[in-house]
């Protein structure tokens, strides 16, 4: 088995349009949650979201090429471009044939689909735009990245709700580790701000009417976000030989299914995924120095995740810093785990643990060290990034400081 | 509380949960009926449609049984129909 280096990072979300800006916002504990602008929210119970502010496809795409990409696929390409440029990797003809692309997306091109459905149902038009299908499909991000770089190797998309990008990064990690490919672009992208899907989220009664306060008293739920995170993964020896900057090492990936309820999380399932990731990384729980939590800010998740962490880490849980960066970049669904993996890499690389923003005070049922409101300088060797999806499909990544 | 309101609520709960109507009474607790959080969200959706009202999240917290639900609904329906409630 080969060791796997993370040599490239890309990110776009409410906190910034590149990794440097996102890193600065995470360090500063800045919250990207604001009133939603792209949808008329006058008939909603909630009004806040974590959108990429004032986003336009320019300067990233010319008008005609942009016609072929839904917002979520644009985010995927923007983050992939940054990650590839950051890695300094050259896609030779040989590498193009074997390089892999694995992306995550939960809902695909929602704003495109919404326009199509509005046209037929509300406006009673008898036709929808012919690009509705290719823009809506959840794999459009992976396909557009493959065309962007001329990559013809194994490329696919994983859709496991809020765990999508963790499953995607985990698969790409295993492919590099097992010698299936010498380079992978992996991550996730999402752009869920459409009227129809926001109404569906409203109906679930899990979206906060103020902001996102994970693990805090008086938390009122999750806040939706959008964006993309992408990583470039390479075998450690090849990355070192070409003199690449190694941001961090991916060391483990664990998965589990709750097999209990379609929306209510299970502590046992979350615990199994964390244990599986540490088993895959061959590390003991006491070695872990930081967890980037799933931490949605819902009543159910945060209590369940706390119980799972207490079960897995025992006494060590009391001195283990845990934070939810969803308090700043929102819950970007299929992109969430990718943004959080980037945040975890930055924490290890820069020795600064991002905070849980908007924290008001302790909830006795969430009695962890959640790094309230202010980032913490702390050198950590090993970290986990948790993702626990609706449907009970869990994925945890284990990372190590380079 | 009007009997009509109670009967409509019982019917909505039974239909949403797909249980025989006679198993739901004004004194039923949600726990007895095995109503979990997702079931509850579905029942609220059905009640909003049944009575053409909006049920805010903060009106829902702390309600654990059918009687509390009916009392809450009565207030929301009254607020909808009263001139003061609609702000006119």
Which residues are A356's β-sheet partners?
A: A372
Q: Which residues of A touch B54 (CB under 8 A)?
A: 45
pLDDT at position A338: 98
Task: Report the alpha-carbon distance of residue A380 to residue A114 in Å, rounded.
Answer: 44
pLDDT at position B87: 41
How does strand A352-353 pair with strand A100-104? unpaired
pLDDT at position B85: 44
* A5-19, A226-240, B11-25, B51-65: segment of lowest average pLDDT: B51-65
Closest alpha carbon to A334 in A43, A102, A96, A116: A102
The counts of H helices and E strands in chain A are 14, 14
- In chain B, the number of structural domains is 1
The confidence band for A78, taking pLDDT boundaries of 50, 70 and 90, is very high
pLDDT at position B86: 44
pLDDT at residue A203 tops 70: yes
Q: Which residues of B touch A203 (CB under 8 A)?
A: 41, 45
The pLDDT tens digits of the residues spanning B68-81 come to 999 999 999 999 87
First-residue to last-residue Cα distance in chain B: 25
* Residue-number span of the structural domain to which B17 is assigned: 3-86
Of all residues in chain A, the percent with pLDDT exceeding 70 is: 100
The confidence band for A126, taking pLDDT boundaries of 50, 70 and 90, is very high
Q: Which residues of A touch B44 (CB under 8 A)?
A: 205
Domains within chain A, CATH numbers bracketed: 4-241 (3.40.47.10), 252-401 (3.40.47.10)
Report residue A91 as tokens: 């896609």
The catalytically annotated residue of A167, A247, A294, A329 is A294
* Residue B29's CATH number: 1.10.1200.10
| Residue A247 annotated in active site | no
Task: Report the alpha-carbon distance of residue A102 to residue A253 in Å, rounded.
Answer: 15
Span B30-51, average pLDDT: 95
| Residue A331 annotated in active site | yes
Q: Do A264 and B56 touch (CB under 8 A)?
A: no
* Confidence (pTM): 0.95
Q: Do B41 and A262 touch (CB under 8 A)?
A: no
Does residue A32 contact residue A330 with C-beta atoms inside 8 Å? yes
pLDDT at position B83: 62
Q: Do B38 and A205 touch (CB under 8 A)?
A: no
How does strand A227-235 pair with strand A184-190? antiparallel
The pLDDT tens digits of the residues spanning A136-189 come to 999 999 999 999 999 999 999 999 999 999 999 999 999 999 999 999 999 999
Interface TM-score (ipTM) > 0.90: no
Q: Do A300 and B45 touch (CB under 8 A)?
A: no
Does residue A398 contact residue A281 with C-beta atoms inside 8 Å? yes
Produce one character per residue of B40-49: b if its CB has 16 or more CB atoms within 10 Å, e if not: bbbbbbbbee
User: At how many degrees (to 10) do helices B37-51 and A195-204 cross?
Assistant: 110
pLDDT at residue B84 tops 60: no
Report residue A240 as tokens: 């070192």
For residue A210, the SS3 value is coil
Nearest CA in chain B to A299: B37
Distance from CA of A44 to the nearest CA of B (A): 10
**Rounded mean pLDDT of chain A?**
97
Span A107-111, average pLDDT: 96
The pLDDT tens digits of the residues spanning A208-234 come to 999 999 999 999 999 999 999 999 999
Of all residues in chain A, the percent with pLDDT exceeding 90 is: 100
pLDDT at position A361: 98
What DSSP assignment string belongs to B32-77? TTT--HHHHHHHHHHHHHHHT----GGGTTT--BHHHHHHHHHHHH
Give Cα B81 distance to the centre of its chain: 17
Closest alpha carbon to A333 in A188, A170, A203: A188
């Amino acid at each position: 088995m080969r060791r796997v280096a993370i040599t490239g990072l890309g990110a776009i979300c409410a906190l910034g349009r590149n990794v440097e800006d996102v890193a600065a916002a995470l360090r500063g504990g800045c919250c990207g949650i604001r009133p939603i602008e792209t949808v008329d929210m006058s008939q909603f119970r909630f009004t806040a979201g974590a959108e990429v502010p004032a986003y336009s496809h320019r300067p990233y795409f010319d008008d005609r090429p942009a016609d072929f990409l839904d917002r979520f696929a644009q985010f995927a390409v923007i983050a992939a471009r940054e990650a590839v440029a950051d890695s300094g990797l050259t896609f030779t003809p040989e590498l193009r044939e074997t390089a892999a692309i694995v992306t995550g997306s939960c809902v695909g091109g929602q704003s495109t689909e919404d326009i199509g459905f509005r046209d037929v149902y509300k406006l009673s038009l008898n036709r929808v735009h012919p690009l509705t299908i290719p823009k809506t499909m959840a794999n459009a991000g992976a396909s557009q990245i493959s065309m962007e770089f001329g990559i013809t190797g194994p490329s696919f998309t994983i859709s496991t709700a809020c765990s999508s990008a963790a499953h995607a990064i985990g698969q790409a990690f295993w492919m590099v580790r097992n010698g299936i490919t010498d380079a992978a672009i992996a991550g996730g992208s999402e752009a869920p701000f459409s009227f129809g899907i926001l109404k569906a989220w409203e109906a679930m009664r899990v979206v906060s009417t103020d902001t996102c306060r994970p693990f805090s008293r008086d938390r009122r739920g999750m806040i939706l976000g959008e964006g993309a995170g992408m990583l470039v993964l390479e075998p450690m020896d090849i990355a070192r030989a070409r003199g690449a900057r190694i941001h961090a090492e991916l060391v483990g990936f664990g998965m589990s299914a709750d097999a209990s309820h379609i929306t209510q999380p299970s502590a046992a399932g979350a615990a199994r995924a964390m244990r599986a990731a540490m088993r895959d990384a061959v590390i003991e729980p006491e070695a872990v120095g930081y967890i980037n939590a799933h931490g949605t800010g819902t009543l159910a998740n945060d209590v369940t995740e706390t119980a799972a962490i207490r079960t897995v880490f025992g006494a060590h849980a009391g001195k283990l810093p845990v934070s939810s960066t969803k308090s700043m970049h929102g819950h970007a669904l299929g992109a969430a785990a990718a943004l959080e993996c980037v945040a975890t890499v930055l924490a290890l690389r820069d020795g600064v643990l991002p905070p849980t923003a908007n924290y008001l005070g302790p909830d006795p049922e969430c009695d962890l060290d959640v790094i309230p409101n202010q980032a913490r300088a702390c050198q950590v060797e090993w970290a986990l990034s948790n993702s626990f999806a609706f449907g009970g499909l869990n994925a945890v990544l284990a990372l190590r400081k380079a | 509380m009007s009997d009509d309101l109670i009967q409509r609520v019982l019917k909505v709960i039974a239909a949403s949960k797909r249980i025989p109507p006679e198993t739901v009474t004004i004194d039923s607790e949600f726990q007895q009926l095995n109503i979990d959080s997702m079931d509850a969200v579905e029942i609220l959706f059905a009640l909003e449609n049944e009575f053409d009202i909006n049920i805010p999240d903060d009106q829902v917290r702390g309600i654990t049984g059918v009687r509390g639900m009916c009392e809450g609904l009565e207030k929301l329906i009254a607020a909808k129909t009263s001139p003061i409630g609609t702000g006119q």
